[in-house]
Amino acid sequence: MDAITLLKTDHRAVEALLKQVQDLSESAHAQRQELFRKIDKELTVHSKMEETIFYPALKQKAKSKEDDDATQEVLEAYEEHANVKSMLQKLENTDAADETYDAKLEVLSELVKHHVHEEEHVMFKEATELMDESELEQLGIKLSEFKGQLLSGVPA
């Protein structure tokens, strides 16, 4: 699977989980906490894959082709990941019964949606212009190998 298809598949999985958690009643504390744990894991693994493999490859390519817009896009994506991470940490430290829990989930969802939209409508388009099919295919292989390592708990 090429890198972009793989990353988009991850996006759809996170969106589905976010929708599930938002559909639960606010009083379903245990279920919300459990779903949040899955979202936390998905987003953490996904961000690591992008930050370790996809972003550096794209940034290097953008720099070598003097594509300032694409370089900027990658730099913005790192900052957006940092915001997502900070909201994940807040949620990890907040009890699901807390009155701010729902607000935090909502903001997390907005951050993720914005970031996914930006990647799919801007960054991935730039990536397909900067890299050819075989490069994207190679990156996809690296990403899925790395994902396998992260999920099996092998230190990467």
Residues that bind Fe ion (CB under 5 A): 50
- CB nearer to Fe ion: pick between 23 and 121: 121
Say if residues 152 and 111 touch (Cβ distance below 8 Å): no
* Least CB distance to Fe ion at residue 7 (A): 7
- CB nearer to Fe ion: pick between 50 and 126: 50
- CB nearer to Fe ion: pick between 2 and 50: 50
- CB nearer to Fe ion: pick between 3 and 96: 3
Which residue has its beta carbon closest to Fe ion? 50
* Least CB distance to Fe ion at residue 15 (A): 13
- CB nearer to Fe ion: pick between 61 and 115: 115
**Which residue type does 87 have?**
M
Cα angle vertex 95, ends 82, 150, to 5°? Answer: 45
3-state secondary structure of 149: helix
Say if residues 27 and 147 touch (Cβ distance below 8 Å): no
* Least CB distance to Fe ion at residue 144 (A): 16
* Least CB distance to Fe ion at residue 30 (A): 29
Burial class (CB in 10 A: 0-12, 13-18, 19+), 30: exposed
User: Which residues have C-beta within 8 Å of that of residue 101, sequence separation ≥ 6?
Assistant: 32, 91, 94, 95
Find where tokens 């909201």 sit.
87
* Least CB distance to Fe ion at residue 134 (A): 23
Q: Which of 29, 40, 21, 31 is nearest to 97 (CA)?
A: 29
